[in-house]
């Protein structure tokens, strides 16, 4: 089963143009002709999988406190758009279930990043993937990724036939190659701002697609592509798409 990865994946939807990880951001990416989006999933206190990045609510909502300590009924009342701009006042945090419906309707592929709150690495993966398995059947257009090895291990156990991506931070763990094999990942996703040409070559030796996050500078995209990077996560996917397509 081959993964049908595009060159460009919209980061948290199209976070350069709409509030990240929202339905509005997903529609924005789709309207630009972007084929895939990357979204973050974590659990509320009562274990509802929601599309949200941070452990705390302050940065992108009018709420406060830990996501893991907040019930979904309170989360759904929050505004997560006004921080971004007046035209997005009243935008809500979506559930995973809500966004899957939108993705299927808009014919979008998905890179779902498991973003667990501390101590919920296993259950976040289990609950999110259990829900996904009841709705999503296009295995070629789904990539489950995480920085967290426990979450990826759970993904291996629950849905071994789904593609997985290992997210590497700026400082790569020494055993990243062993992890790649152990977790049977399909892609390696790296930080564009710190990746070196040597590291790109090391990944190419593993014969896995290499995806770089988060690339908003067209010149950086060009350079990384010339090194051998296969794809890019971008807040401004339309701008990156222009330069990448012109190279091919």
Q: Which two tokens stand for residue 182?
A: 């152990």
Concerning whether 11 is annotated as a catalytic residue, the answer is yes
The active-site residue out of 11, 27, 139, 163 is 11
Task: Assess contact for 238 and 34: CB atoms under 8 A.
Answer: yes
Which position among 27, 53, 139, 149 bears the catalytic label?
A: 53
Is 54 buried (19+), middle (13-18) or exposed (0-12) by CB count in 10 A? middle
Neighbours of 203 (CB within 10 A): 23
Report the C-alpha gap between 120 and 67 in whole angstroms.
Answer: 12
What does the alpha-carbon distance between residue 103 and residue 30 come to, in Å, rounded to a whole number? 9
Would you list the DSSP string of 6-32? -SEEEETTTTTTS-TTSHHHHHHHHHT
Alpha carbons within 13 angstroms on the beta-carbon side of residue 58 total 3
d(CA 222, CA 67): 38
Active site residues: 11, 53
């Amino acid at each position: 089963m081959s993964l049908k990865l595009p060159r460009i994946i919209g980061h948290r939807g199209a976070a350069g143009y709409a509030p990240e990880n929202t339905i509005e951001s997903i529609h924005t990416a789709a309207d630009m002709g972007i084929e895939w989006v990357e979204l973050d999933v974590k659990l509320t206190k009562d274990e509802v999988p929601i599309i949200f990045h941070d452990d705390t609510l302050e940065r992108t909502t009018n709420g406060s406190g830990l996501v893991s300590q907040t019930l979904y009924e309170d989360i759904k009342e929050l505004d997560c758009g006004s921080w971004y701009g007046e035209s997005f006042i009243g935008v809500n945090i979506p559930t995973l279930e809500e966004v899957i419906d939108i993705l299927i309707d808009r014919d979008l592929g998905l890179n779902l990043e498991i973003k667990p709150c501390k101590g919920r690495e296993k259950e976040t993966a289990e609950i999110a993937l259990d829900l996904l398995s009841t709705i999503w059947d296009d295995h070629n257009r789904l990539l489950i990724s995480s920085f967290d090895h426990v979450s990826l291990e759970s993904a291996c156990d629950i849905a071994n036939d789904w593609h997985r991506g290992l997210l590497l931070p700026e400082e790569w763990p020494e055993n990243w190659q062993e992890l790649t094999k152990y977790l049977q990942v399909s892609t390696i996703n790296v930080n564009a701002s710190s990746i070196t040409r040597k590291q790109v070559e090391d990944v190419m030796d593993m014969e896995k697609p290499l995806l770089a996050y988060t690339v908003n500078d067209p010149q950086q995209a060009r350079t990384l592509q010339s090194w051998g990077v296969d794809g890019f996560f971008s807040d401004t996917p339309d701008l990156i798409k222009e330069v990448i397509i012109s190279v091919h």
